[in-house]
Amino acid sequence: MKQAAFITITNARLVTPDGLREGSLRMEEGRIAALGDMPGEGETVDAGGKLVAPGLVDLGVFAIDKPAFHFGGITRAALMPDQSPPLDLPSRVSYIAKSGKPDFWVHPLAAATRGLEGKEIAEIALMREAGARGIATGRQWISDSGAMLRLLQYAAMLDMPVIAHAEDAALVGSAVATAGEYATRRGLPSAPAEAEAIAIARDLALAEMAGARLHFRQVTTRAGLDLVRKAKAAGQQVTAGVTPAHFMLSDLATAEFRTFARLSPPLRSEDDRHAVREAISDGTIDVVSSGHDPRGPEDKRLPFSDAEPGMAGAETLLAMVLSLVRDEVIDISRAFELVATNPARLLGVEAGSLSQGYEADIAIVDADKPWVVQSAMMAATAGNTPFDGQPTQGRVTALWKGGVPVEL
């Protein structure tokens, strides 16, 4: 499906790389043709003074779930290799790369190791040819430091980012919670929060040796964020991400063994939650993603430690990030850097920004529109959200992928 005619969105508050500005945006042949003051040419859409922003680029999701992504204003997602079977072969990558088109683009992340077993490096260069935009270790740490170093060296040679999971595997074991009073009260197998900083410290050292670009998909503890902050200050090519759960919730949310709050990494302490918010504010965190992982009752209606980790996050990503704007942690421009510009840059795709010539992935956002998150009413294939029942604000009211309107 190609864009048929010009579309001009008028009366918009444009979220541009240079900040908010009033004006219009014209889409032409699937690209952003012009921004600024212009007459309404071709088909005209009046944004009614609402935000017009880049479609979200969701870095590190676990399922392709178009209705949920579209609901959340997400037009591209980088799919984690943790699939069944894992994305560790070029053929699988190539199939996935085409799976969402035309109205949704999937950027596969190549499995760093065969079968995600953390031992043998997978055929990364061939997977790059097949469309992989990055390399991911999956939802686990590569324990073998030698294997991790060789992987990072290889990735540096191919100029591909490595997206790492930061939890020391031996410390974590079969833990499902962060060690502390709440895990102890509930008798849940737990691991110390320091497992994250330990993993980050090693991976930073190895990445520096290898000269590789390293992205930690989720940094969730104060100690881990401090390490990333220092490495950035020292000039290392490192970026960090997080999902809204870790700046909205702490391990208090696991009370009553609620499996929708069973996440990987697990929810942390209140202090760590505050540290995440500070890191979003000061620029230590570059990316906020949904970690979208819809899980039905067969995976979630189980005892806490037997349930699968993960949450359906695509629909709530934007609203939760906009809550940081209302709380004055960040401004609107920075919000869209976190959910669109930075992840697009990391993946090396010309999207995620209202820049001339970029892909016309555009969202009209009513930033104040109130709504209530309802597990039973979600567009996602499963309603496993820890935000069930929570009132929030901010909804996408119109969406275009490559200049073609998406039905919401």
Interface residue list for another protein (CB under 8 A): 173-174, 179-190, 192, 256-257, 297-298, 301-306
**Tokens 């900040």 identify what position?**
19
Long-range pairs of 249-254 with CB within 8 A, sequence gap ≥ 24? 249/273, 249/386, 251/177, 251/178, 251/180, 251/182, 251/183, 252/182, 253/386, 254/177, 254/182, 254/186, 254/188, 254/304
Contacts for 28 with CB less than 8 Å, ≥ 6 apart: 3, 6, 360, 403
d(CA 296, CA 274): 30
Cα pseudo-dihedral 212, 351, 82, 300, rounded to 10: 130
Strand partners, 106: 77
Q: Which two tokens stand for residue 164?
A: 């790492």
Q: Which two tokens stand for residue 368?
A: 């104040």
Contacts for 396 with CB less than 8 Å, ≥ 6 apart: 71, 72, 73, 318, 363, 364, 365, 366, 408
Q: Coil, strand or helix: which one is 67?
A: helix
d(CA 31, CA 221): 39
Q: Which is nearer to another protein, 84 or 174 (CB)?
A: 174
CB of 138 closer than 8 Å to CB of 165? yes
Nearest one of 318, 303, 321 to 397, comparing CA atoms: 318
Strand partners, 165: none
d(CA 118, CA 385): 30
